[in-house]
Structure formats: structure tokens, C-alpha cells
């Protein structure tokens, strides 16, 4: 079954709005958890000093706090990316996606995705630190996000070139 572009765009707008709201909710949860980690540090240390006995909780708590702190810029980058993508979808719905603003938006999204990829690498280091403390946190490197960064920068360049050519054509007519 083929959906009309307006149905697909409407679904895209709805999904992006939901994702942006959920992302902000995650950000609030991170802030609450980070703040709560200080008054409840003794409870955390007591719990993890007993189960499992191989975990060193005094090492884990600072690493988890660092993880939560580094996740906040990721929430910001995702929020910016989703907001810019919503703006791009609006221009598609208006029937004119090849505008200079969309090239800028795509470049902004590319920088944000690059930031999330760099933060993901730092999460890999933090996972290794938690595992050194006796935990079992899985983290895997993936090229998919890095490919997305390249793709977004190329797509932004395509939009820049397309809008430049469009402007030249309109000037000739």
C-alpha cells in the first residue's frame, strides 16, 4: 500500500514530535538521577557492596555520574537534530524543500550527529571503566553513525549546490 506524501509527512511530524518530547523527558530524568545520586550515595554504595561481591561501588558511582553528565550534551544534540529535521519536514510539506535554510539545517544536524558519535566513544571508555570495577556493561563500536555523519555533510553540500544552481536559473529567467 502506497501512502500519499501528506500522510507520510504527517506521520513523520508526529513521530519527530514524540521523539523530541521523549528525548527531553530523558534529559529531565538524567538531571534528576544525577542530583539524586548525591544524597543517595550511601544507599548505592551499600547495595553494590553486597551484590554482586565482585563490584567495587566506590569506583562505579563517579563513573556513572560522569556518564550521566556526558549524556546531557547528547540529549541537547539530539534535541537540536530533531528540531532541525522537523523544520526540514515543514519545508517539504510546504512544497519547497530546496531552500538555503535546509542546507544549514542539514549541516547543523551533521555536527550534532558527529557530537553524539564522539560522546558515544567516551561512553565506550566509561563502559570499560565500569567493567574494570567488576560490572558487565556492553558497548560496541559501530560504523553506522559515522557513516551517517558523512552522509549528512554530503547531503548538506548537495542542498547548498542545488539552491545555488536554482538561484542562478531563476536569475537567468
**pLDDT value for 141:** 94
**pLDDT value for 112:** 98
What 8-state DSSP symbol labels residue 3? P
Q: Could you tell me the maximum CA-CA distance found in the chain, to the nearest angstrom?
A: 78
**Residue of 152, 7, 173 lying closest to 81 (CA atoms):** 152
**pLDDT value for 46:** 83
Q: The C-alpha cell of 78 is what? A: 539530539
Q: Convert 121-162 into a string of H (helix), E (strand) and C (coil).
A: HHHHHHHHHHHHCCCCCCCCCCCHHHHHHHHHHHHHHHHHHH
Q: The C-alpha cell of 45 is what? A: 554504595
Q: pLDDT per residue over 120-137, tens digit each?
A: 999 999 999 888 888 888
- Residues 89 and 93: their CA atoms lie apart, in Å, by 6
**pLDDT value for 52:** 65
- Residues 127 and 78: their CA atoms lie apart, in Å, by 21
pLDDT in tens, the chain (173 residues): 444 567 889 999 999 999 999 999 999 999 999 999 999 999 988 887 776 666 777 788 899 999 999 999 999 999 999 999 999 999 999 988 889 999 999 999 999 999 999 999 999 999 998 888 888 889 999 999 999 999 999 999 999 998 888 888 888 87
Q: Residues 72, 75, 80, 83: is their CA dihedral positive or negative?
A: negative
pTM of the model: 0.87
Amino acid at each position: 500500500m502506497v501512502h500519499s506524501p501528506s500522510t507520510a509527512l504527517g506521520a513523520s511530524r508526529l513521530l519527530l514530535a514524540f521523539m523530541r518530547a521523549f528525548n527531553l523527558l530523558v534529559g529531565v530524568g538524567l538531571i534528576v538521577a544525577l542530583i539524586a545520586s548525591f544524597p543517595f550515595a550511601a544507599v548505592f554504595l551499600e547495595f553494590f557492596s553486597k551484590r554482586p561481591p565482585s563490584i567495587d561501588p566506590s569506583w562505579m558511582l563517579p563513573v556513572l555520574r560522569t556518564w550521566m553528565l556526558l549524556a546531557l550534551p547528547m540529549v541537547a544534540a539530539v534535541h537540536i537534530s530533531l528540531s532541525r529535521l522537523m523544520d526540514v519536514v515543514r519545508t517539504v510539506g510546504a512544497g519547497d524543500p530546496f531552500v538555503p535554510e535546509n542546507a544549514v539545517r542539514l549541516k547543523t544536524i551533521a555536527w550534532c550527529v558527529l557530537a553524539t558519535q564522539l560522546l558515544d566513544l567516551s561512553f565506550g571508555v566509561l563502559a570499560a571503566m565500569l567493567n574494570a570495577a567488576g560490572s558487565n556493561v556492553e558497548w560496541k563500536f559501530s560504523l553506522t553513525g559515522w557513516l551517517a555523519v558523512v552522509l549528512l555533510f554530503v547531503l548538506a553540500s548537495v542542498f547548498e549546490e542545488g539552491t545555488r544552481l536554482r538561484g542562478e536559473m531563476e536569475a537567468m529567467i
